[in-house]
Structure 1
């Protein structure tokens, strides 16, 4: 597993970080707004945000004296997709079928065992 994927799954391991990601689905939020939703201290939430940023799951921008965070969902989708493809051969088959021409067989027409040479 790549280092980026390890960072993503490490970031997802903590329930507070998962909740932060869910909250950011609503849109950009300041560090103070995020911290206000938790009983943890500001520095603790700041460390969680740092882990999420290092994993590429959130982006930040400065506006005057505030730091605003946004969800970077593409990185999460890419990392989880790569992981599933590695551990679930059926996912590789389905991904290959999606990239074929429209006249190609649908996933229901091809069994995973047949495509994997079983």
Structure 2
């Protein structure tokens, strides 16, 4: 059975690029356009991993991670931040919120898939 990954980013073109890489590797993909939409997609179905941007309208990635970690059903879901933010302050905030990996844009699909395969248990 395919593992499901939620991609949350306000850039439709970035979501598409990530989706192509992930579906090509055999993952099933759900998309959210911002933090609020991403949270709404966590509706009880099994999601094995979340990939999120930091800077988004309505709710930013760090706030969304904090909200996900409050939800008992998704508390242990690994989260990768895929963002242009490379500052250590922001990375610390992410880590404190529960982010497991940080991939800086522009990214190489192989690099992201490696991070994904390390965080998704077989």
- Normalising by the residue count of structure 2, what TM-score does the alignment of the two structures yield? 0.27
Higher strand share: 2
Higher radius of gyration, 1 or 2: 1
- Normalising by the residue count of structure 1, what TM-score does the alignment of the two structures yield? 0.27
